Chains A and B, each alone.
Chain A
């Protein structure tokens, strides 16, 4: 596979390490009242979509960026790749 790195252009997937669903960016508050249930959901449960999903890749043999890659798990087609940092900052700024 080739991953379209937003800063570096297309890079071989072999340079990257895969983590999983991009919902791992949405870590619950460990001091919150519902933390046990929220963390069970966060750590263990997955939508496991057959189709387009957002997922996390780390450019380990490259610039060490964490990327959010939008990819179809049925065809492996990649629709988009963004810096995870940008995605998270935008979400936090939006106050979500």
Chain B
């Protein structure tokens, strides 16, 4: 079934009887050519592109709980390609181009809204660094605009220009950045993959890998053994736990990351705004809630919840930056587990086990990467060669000294 305005109209006048399940609930088959472990955004996108672009017919995706239950369902929905380093920026720009055609491609409105992201500048050194970054963005084919103070004021006059501890001196704007409805992204990829023949199997936990003579043969699951020609693992947040079942230790630590939303408000904030001197960024959802976040928890955690100090720190930043939000109320806080990699950049690569592939280490920036991550992982799984834009995201880069360290803080996962 194709979704369209016409279809919505037709169903509305005929009592919504014709709507079909968005995806099937298939029973697992004994074996597949490719098994994807993890029904989050990246796993779903991988399955989708494997079937749609790379012509893979026998693909299964296994999800421990309900599809979309990972970090794709618990983030602040920002999409952007404003990275600095050549190992990252072309990949994220590739992702941005995929976002731009995604909804028409998978036929579901994921509310991709390119209302821009503004990174605020507070010092001369920060302006130099953002100029370097903005130029890196343009050189990769992305868009970027350097704004002075007056231009920032024209965009966001409600910011604290008069009484700030760290005065606003300008900003780096990426007009094509913005937000997308996170659940819609998961559902769009899931529905598209399902229509293309992928078996999406929910409530199916992978409990082990069957590895013989250095080659993966299949996966043990809570619903029995499933054979596989290749296995791709995309379980950000649980990467270390799952890959340890294949005997691997990863350059990853898990940290809690909170996000927050206020009660619904009439339009208040134009796009995404990032405070350059505090830990705060914010956008407004289509329903009206101010969606905001800040730093990860500094300590390791799998608890999927955060602490009060980070909440207070984030809101202090918000209040310092835009004091007019004070009378809005925090409605909900939620927490996810971020796979913090040792250089803050992701891994899309083969592993020492033949036929076993790994996608993870997205730190707290995985959502914007969802389409490209799926595409590049599918490329690797289908062709055994890395996609052009993901060549640097190797697992052995730490051993060989080719880290992709955007922040320049070294092997300190909680600082990235």
A contacts B: CB pair < 8 Å: yes
B253–A48 CB distance below 8 A = yes
Smallest CB–CB gap between A53 and chain B, Å?
Answer: 7
Smallest CB–CB gap between A32 and chain B, Å?
Answer: 17
A44 is contacted by which of B254, B299, B301, B398 (Cβ under 8 Å)? B398
Complex interface: chain A residues within 8 A of B299 (CB) = 1, 13, 18, 55, 57, 71
- A11 sits at the interface (CB 8 A): no
Within 8 A of A (CB), among B391-413: 398-399, 411-413
Q: Name, among B299, B301, B399, the residue most crowded by chain A CB atoms within 10 Å (CB to CB).
A: B299
| Contact flags A36-69 to B (C-beta < 8 A → 1, else 0) | 1100110111111010010101000000000000
A14 is contacted by which of B251, B302, B309 (Cβ under 8 Å)? B309
A73–B300 CB distance below 8 A = yes
Provided the pairs A1-B307, A14-B309, A20-B253 are in contact, do residues A48 and B300 lie with their beta carbons within 8 angstroms?
yes
- B97 sits at the interface (CB 8 A): no
B side interface size, CB within 8 A: 24
Provided the pairs A20-B300, A47-B249 are in contact, do residues A73 and B414 lie with their beta carbons within 8 angstroms?
no
A73 to B240, CA, bound (A): 13
B298–A48 CB distance below 8 A = no
B303 is contacted by which of A19, A47, A74 (Cβ under 8 Å)? A74
CB nearest to B398 among chain A residues: A44
Smallest CB–CB gap between A56 and chain B, Å?
Answer: 10
Complex interface: chain A residues within 8 A of B16 (CB) = none
Complex interface: chain B residues within 8 A of A18 (CB) = 298-300, 414
- B216 sits at the interface (CB 8 A): no
A20–B251 CB distance below 8 A = no
A78 to B404, CA, bound (A): 34
Complex interface: chain B residues within 8 A of A55 (CB) = 299-300
A46–B250 CB distance below 8 A = yes
- A76 sits at the interface (CB 8 A): yes
Q: Name, among A13, A48, A75, the residue most crowded by chain B CB atoms within 10 Å (CB to CB).
A: A48
CB nearest to A41 among chain B residues: B249
A73–B303 CB distance below 8 A = yes
B307–A74 CB distance below 8 A = no
Complex interface: chain A residues within 8 A of B398 (CB) = 40, 43-44
| Contact flags B222-253 to A (C-beta < 8 A → 1, else 0) | 00000000000000000011001000011111
Smallest CB–CB gap between B315 and chain A, Å?
Answer: 15
A44 to B249, CA, bound (A): 10
Within 8 A of A (CB), among B277-324: 298-303, 307, 309
Within 8 A of A (CB), among B367-416: 398-399, 411-414
B414 is contacted by which of A14, A20, A36, A45 (Cβ under 8 Å)? A20
Q: Which residues in A have some Cβ–Cβ distance to B below 8 Å?
A: 1, 13-14, 17-21, 36-37, 40-41, 43-48, 50, 53, 55, 57, 71, 73-76
- Beyond A73-B254, A74-B303, 16 extra complex contacts between A and B, CB < 8 Å: A18-B414, A20-B412, A20-B413, A36-B399, A37-B399, A41-B249, A46-B240, A46-B249, A46-B250, A46-B253, A48-B254, A48-B300, A50-B302, A53-B300, A75-B303, A76-B301
- Of all A-B residue pairs in the complex, the 6 with the closest CB atoms, nearest first, are A48-B240, A44-B398, A44-B251, A18-B298, A45-B249, A18-B299
Q: Can you identify 8 A-B contacts, CB atoms within 8 angstroms?
A: A13-B299, A20-B253, A43-B398, A46-B253, A47-B240, A48-B300, A53-B300, A76-B301
